Structure 1
Amino acid sequence: MKTEPEREQLIKDINVLLNQAYDSTLDEIYALLLKIEDEEDENDLRAYHTAKSDVENSSLIAWNEIKKEIANERKKDVA
């Protein structure tokens, strides 16, 4: 995990490149980011099912609550 100053610098560097990119490149980057997010969601779902099937973690948890928690964690990572 990157430190906050490292993240800030990386984001600044990415923004410079994004502002110089062609529209078609921006479209490709956006599509790639969406694909990555979908893959992360699939991984989260797999991990959830694994944990759910574990006898020690067999308590009932609403999927909406899990999605909220995942979204909150992502916001923390991005912020």
Structure 2
Amino acid sequence: MKNAQSEDIATSTKEALLKAIYVELENAYEDTLEEILELLKIRRSEDEEDIKEYHAALEDIKTNGTIPWLQAKREIA
């Protein structure tokens, strides 16, 4: 039940944000809209790259294991 409420709140928040954004977009210049679209594409591309790197890191851990945190701190310092 609590999870459904959280999802409802998130959906309501997202809907409110989308409505507010749409109002602003209606008044925006075309070049501004193009910039916004480009930024959204960049963000999606970065998110996809992050996901690929995450899966690669998991695979590396499966293959090579991990090192203790104290050892990592020594190597960084």
TM class by smaller structure: 0.5 to 0.7
- Aligned position for 1:11: 18
- Taking only aligned residues, the RMSD between alpha carbons, in angstroms, comes to 1.9
**1:9-53 Cα deviation digits (max 9, x unpaired):** 001000111111000000000111111111101101100101112
Specify which structure has the bigger relative contact order, considering alpha-carbon pairs within 8 angstroms and separated by 6 or more residues: 2
1:17-28 counterparts in 2 under 5 A? 17-28=24-35
Q: Structure 2 CA distance, aligned partners of 1:55 and 1:26? A: 44
| TM-score (norm: length of structure 1) | 0.64
Q: Which runs of 5+ in 1 are unaligned?
A: 57-79
Q: Describe the SS at the equivalent of 2:50.
A: helix
- The CA deviation at 1:4 is 1.2
Q: TM-score, normalised by structure 2?
A: 0.66
Structure 2 unaligned regions, length at least 5:
1-5, 64-77
The 4+ residue runs of structure 1 with deviation greater than 6 A are none
1:35 equivalenced with 2:26 (yes/no): no
Distance across 2 between alignment mates of 1:44 and 1:24? 30
State the percentage of identical aligned residues.
29
SS of 1:29 mapped into structure 2: helix
Separation of aligned partners in 2, 1:42 and 1:34: 12
